[in-house]
Chains A and B, each alone.
Chain A
Amino acid sequence: QVQLQESGPGLVKPSQTLSLTCTVSGGSISSGSYYWSWIRQPAGKGLEWIGRIYTSGSTNYNPSLKSRVTISVDTSKNQFSLKLSSVTAADTAVYYCARDPGHILTGYPEYYFDYWGQGTLVTVSS
């Protein structure tokens, strides 16, 4: 059974960089056609897709955050990471990591998320 677990600081100061890691267990992060995403949810609000990384290392980002986001993967640790720079209070949210299974034949994304981490609250405050 695949499991995802987010980790990182729960409090970040304004203008600094938010850094989170998602550790994948129960399977290899680099096997299959998986796409690994970050999704966030401000308190009482809806979900926002931040971006994703493919097992090859290629990335796609939400244009609204693209200038501030970097997603990377460390296959040796079975982890992928999120960095969000120049944070403000508007970046306060629960951050989830999630898996898109990818199409087994084409390798293209399936555009749904079958496994999610439990989520981690990141608060931006001085």
Chain B
Amino acid sequence: QSALTQPASVSGSPGQSITISCTGTSSDVGGYNYVSWYQQHPGKAPKLMIYDVSNRPSGVSNRFSGSKSGNTASLTISGLQAEDEADYYCSSYTNSNTHVVFGGGTKLTVL
């Protein structure tokens, strides 16, 4: 069982917007701004999409945005494209000895 809770799957049509949630506790997501999001296509390594809750690395489309409210972080993808179909994982710092925790992942299907 993962430390952070994500929906198993979400779906949307091309051009639409979707949001993926990531729920933790005050010991991780809620207590610190160290939330990051990763995109993983089948057979590939994860790719950093968002860091520090809402920052985008250079080269990542501005269709991807991140936010946080309380113990829940969110990744929003606007203007869905077929290439966005992938698994998405959230991650956070935790003040436990584990240091870094991940969510269980969300499979995004573009209909």
Contact = CB atoms under 8 A, between A and B. Distances in A.
B45 A96 contact: yes
Contacts of B104: 45-46
Interface string B28-40: 0000101010100
Nearest to B57: A114
A111 B102 contact: no
B93 A111 contact: yes
Contacts, number: 64
Which of B34, B45, B51, B99: most chain A Cβ within 10 A? B45
Contact of B51 (A46, A62, A110, A117): A110
A49 B102 contact: yes
A23 to B, nearest CB: 15
Nearest to B34: A111
Interface in A28-48: 37, 45-48
A60 interface: yes
Contact of B103 (A37, A46, A112, A119): A46
A47 to B, nearest CB: 4
Contacts of A45: 104
Given A46-B89, A47-B89, A113 B48 contact: yes
B97 A63 contact: yes
Given A112-B91, A118-B45, A49 B36 contact: no
A62 B99 contact: yes
Which of B32, B52, B97: most chain A Cβ within 10 A? B97
A112 B46 contact: no
A50 B36 CA distance: 17
Interface in A98-126: 109-114, 116-119
A109 B97 CA distance: 14
7 nearest A-B residue pairs (beta carbon): A112-B36, A111-B34, A112-B51, A111-B93, A49-B100, A116-B45, A47-B102
Interface of A: 37, 45-49, 52, 60, 62-64, 96, 109-114, 116-119
Interface of B: 2, 32, 34, 36, 38, 44-48, 51-52, 57, 89, 91-93, 96-105
